[in-house]
Amino acid sequence: MRILISNDDGYLAPGLLALADAMSKIAEVVVVAPERNRSGASNALTLDKPLSVFKAGKNVYFVDGTPSDCVHVAMTGLLDYRPDLVVSGINQGQNMGDDTLYSGTVAAATEGYLFGVPSIAFSQADKGWEHIDDAARFALHLVKDRLGELESPFLLNVNIPNLPYAELKGIRATRLGKRHESEPVIKSVDPRGRPIYWIGPCGEARDGGDGTDFHAVGQGYVSVTPLQVDLTHVRQLEKLQKAWQ
């Protein structure tokens, strides 16, 4: 088995190192990840400049681009084979609900899925890397033992509570919840007296009820949400088709 690993926290992030170490127990692993933190990059591809790829060690590469760039370059030029699985993460902090639209972690997995390869995005619920080895252990368990029911290719978004492995209550198949609007931007002034703005923190969950990723993680379960790329609003489409036929 061959696994391609990427992330959005950068190739030196503890979450990526723990994930690569865990996956190496069952597969041949290659890492292609951003040279620095690219959180919030979403599915952006770099089209205004060429990308450089640097080797950091055996089967470890970093790219001066986005998470999607990393997987795209790996798939279309860097590797001479198609991996059996793409895994992204383990991200520092949750990617639940609307976060998935912005997440570079999810984007790296999505890029693999777009190439027809089964792909999984892994995130820890809280920042700080606490119990990261336990999260990686669960990621290994999921890949090794829990994917037999799925049709390939699949795209999964996985959020793991920051708990010791023995305290994880289990696994739940979930849907994405929803958040309130983000908090206001944080306005400041740069050294030259010009106004600057920091993007504020994300909002609280407004749809975090039973069955959502928010609810599962809050109860101590690992949340696994199957994603799709088709953004078509089916009900609106049916209305327009009836109105415009």
What pLDDT, in 10s, does the model give residues 163-188? 999 999 999 999 999 887 778 899 99
The amino acid at 85: L
Rounded distance between C-alpha atoms, residue 105 and residue 67, angstroms: 7
The pLDDT score that the predictor gives to residue 107 is 98
Tokens of 162: 């920051």
234 conformational bin, left if phi > 0, alpha if psi -120 to 50, beta if neither: alpha
Neighbours of 170 (CB within 10 A): 9
Please say if the pLDDT value at position 245 is more than 90.
no
Helix (H) or strand (E) run with residue 224 in it: strand 222-226
Rounded distance between C-alpha atoms, residue 205 and residue 194, angstroms: 34
Tokens of 12: 């030196």
The domains located in the chain, with CATH, are 2-176+206-244 (3.40.1210.10)
Nearest to 202 by CA among 185, 224, 219, 187: 185
Cβ atoms of 3 and 9 within 8 Å: the answer is: no
The pLDDT score that the predictor gives to residue 209 is 86
The pLDDT score that the predictor gives to residue 195 is 94
Radius of gyration of the chain (CA): 19
Rounded distance between C-alpha atoms, residue 94 and residue 124, angstroms: 5
Please say if the pLDDT value at position 203 is more than 90.
no
Please say if the pLDDT value at position 230 is more than 90.
yes
SS3 232: coil
The pLDDT score that the predictor gives to residue 103 is 96
- Tell me the pLDDT tens digit for each residue of 79-138: 999 999 999 999 999 999 999 999 999 999 999 999 999 999 999 999 999 999 999 999
Instruction: Please state the φ and ψ torsions of residue 50, each to the nearest 5 degrees.
Output: -70, 160
Output the average pLDDT for the chain: 95
